[in-house]
Amino acid sequence: MSHETAGLTVPANWHYAFVGLGDSNLAAKLDGDLERTDQVAADVMSDPAVMFRVAAWWFRGGAATVGMKAKSDADACSDLAAVADALPADFDANEGKAHSVLATINECVAGTGDADPGFAQRVALTKKAMRAIQGK
């Protein structure tokens, strides 16, 4: 998740997540100022209870809200979960399809498809997660 929400490591983008979550308790922690980028806001973004909700928000449309666009699929950034659902269960046997899906997701993260230095790590981490889910 940390890779796929990399755009939210930029404090200027935090307000998109704070607004997108629509959480009054979170707003109270920020004294009602969802534009904050100070240490209080950093602490909120670092809270695991918030962090995982932000990652889910990012995957379910937050990437598009922040302005990310995928050249390969105009609607991809609006619902990365739907894009990720296309990952083949047999990742190794369908490496080409898996590569294509992960490259599309990466376009919504970095705008570079499979051309950025972190792409190989994303593929390796995804393979590891898929194998864990499948009990391999």
3 and 63 part of one domain: yes
Return the higher-pLDDT residue of 126 and 78. Answer: 78
73 and 136 part of one domain: yes
6 and 61 part of one domain: yes
Q: pLDDT value at position 1?
A: 45
Domain count for the chain: 2
Q: pLDDT value at position 109?
A: 75
Note the pLDDT tens digit of each residue in 77-114: 899 889 989 988 887 777 888 888 888 888 887 777 78
Which of 30, 49, 67 terminates a domain? The answer is 67
Return the higher-pLDDT residue of 48 and 10. Answer: 48
42 and 91 part of one domain: no
CA distances (Å), 61 to each of 33, 89, 94, 98, 131, in order?
Answer: 22, 24, 27, 21, 27
Note the pLDDT tens digit of each residue in 46-78: 898 898 898 888 888 888 888 888 877 888 889
96 and 54 part of one domain: no
99 and 37 part of one domain: no
pLDDT band (50, 70, 90) for residue 26: very high
110 and 124 part of one domain: yes
The C-alpha torsion from 26 through 29 and 34 to 37, rounded to 10°, is -120
80 and 115 part of one domain: yes
Could you list the residue range(s) of the whole structural domain that residue 78 is in?
68-136
Q: pLDDT value at position 7?
A: 57
Query: How many H helices and E strands in the chain?
Result: 8, 0
